[in-house]
Amino acid sequence: MEPRARRRRAPLHPRSFFLKQFFRGIWVAAVLVAGSLGLGMCGYHFLEGLPWIDALLNASMILTGMGPVDAVRTTAGKLFASGYALFSGVVFLTTAAVLFAPALHRFLHRFHLEIEDEEEPPPKGSS
């Protein structure tokens, strides 16, 4: 394993590597959102008895933070909706982190390299 200081001074990875990481993040975010949407649809369909299209609408609205469309009538449905709303907040934050992490990492690494270049002393033997 390389010493930490050497890794910090390593040059930026090529743009193709960054794009590969970025698209992998998009894929992970899409799977996370699709899975969360499926979980919400199943909960609203089986616990509240909503038709699939209405369950999709309700789950989509909760997942995006806009709020429910249909009134929740059963105790089980209310407990599910409450948990799903909390879960959706975590999914939103996680999805944002997964999407922005590669770009933020590249920006900070580039910024760090620029600062180190400014702080380097002149080579020995030059005046």
For 36-52, how does the pLDDT look when each residue is reduced to its tens digit (9 = 90+)? 999 999 999 999 999 99
Query: Cα separation of 19 and 44, whole Å?
Result: 37
**Residue in this structure with the two tokens 């989509």, named with its chain if needed:** 60
Query: Cα separation of 34 and 98, whole Å?
Result: 15
In the chain, what are the domains?
Answer: 19-117 (1.10.287.70)
Token representation of residue 22: 């970025």
DSSP H helices, the chain, are: 4-8, 15-48, 52-63, 75-119
Contact between 69 and 58 (Cβ < 8 Å): yes
* pLDDT(105) > 60: yes
pLDDT in tens, 76-89: 999 999 999 999 99
Average the pLDDT over 18-23 and give the result.
88
pTM, whole model, 2 decimals?
0.73
